[in-house]
């Protein structure tokens, strides 16, 4: 009897955990909320600059998972400055023009006017990212989806941005869900 009770309790807890996992994580960002897809796993941010961070499972054949990071930056420069900074994180593939691999469009994110940038190429990975003397490792076939908007807060302006970064196939695997997640911010 005790064994049956333990098995029943374990099954109920597993079902409860499974139901929670299927819901995803509610993210509050820029005064809005949206729930992530269930397979995005929340992680502790690896930097004080990050508001949140998620691991997105890699596509078959890719060497690593994708990463989604959310930021809030008071006084972080203009939106154009930040878009240019993102472009500098990539090397344009040989034989391609910037307009072939960097797509930028405006979008509505909740009630905010945002910019969506999609970059593909060789990622110039460096750690720590803001150290001018950090070693750069070139990682080919990478892609980044970047979203940014500004909000007036108090006397100043705050930039909210996010990056979905990873191997090209992994980012493509999650792009539709990412775009849907963005549409659901309210």
Where exactly are the structural domains of the chain?
24-183
- pTM of the shown model: 0.86
Q: What is the pLDDT along the chain (186 residues), one digit of tens a residue?
A: 444 333 333 444 344 344 445 789 999 999 999 999 999 999 999 988 899 999 999 999 999 999 999 999 988 789 999 999 999 999 999 999 999 999 999 999 999 999 999 999 999 999 887 788 899 999 999 999 999 999 988 888 999 999 999 999 999 999 999 999 999 999
- Of residues 173, 178, 185, 186, the one with CA closest to residue 59: 173
CATH code 3.30.710.10 for 24-183: no
Helix ranges, the chain (H) = 2-23, 79-87, 98-101, 168-183
Q: How many CB atoms lie within 10 A of CB 153?
A: 11
């Amino acid at each position: 009897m005790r064994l049956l009770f333990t098995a029943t309790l374990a099954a109920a807890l597993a079902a409860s955990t499974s139901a929670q996992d299927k819901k995803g994580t509610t993210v509050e960002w820029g005064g809005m909320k949206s729930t992530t897809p269930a397979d995005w796993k929340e992680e502790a941010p690896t930097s004080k600059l990050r508001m949140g961070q998620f691991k997105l499972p890699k596509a078959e054949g890719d060497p690593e998972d994708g990463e989604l990071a959310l930021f809030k930056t008071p006084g972080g420069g203009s939106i154009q400055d930040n878009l240019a900074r993102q472009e500098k994180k990539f090397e344009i593939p040989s034989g391609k023009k910037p307009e072939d691999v960097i797509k930028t469009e405006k979008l509505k994110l909740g009630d905010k006017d945002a910019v969506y940038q999609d970059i593909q190429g060789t990622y110039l990975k460096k750690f720590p990212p803001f150290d001018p003397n950090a070693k750069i490792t070139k990682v080919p076939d990478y892609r980044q989806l970047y979203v940014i908007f500004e909000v007036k807060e108090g006397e100043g302006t705050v930039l909210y941005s996010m990056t979905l970064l990873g191997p090209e196939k992994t980012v493509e695997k999650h792009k539709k869900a990412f775009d849907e997640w963005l549409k659901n911010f309210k």
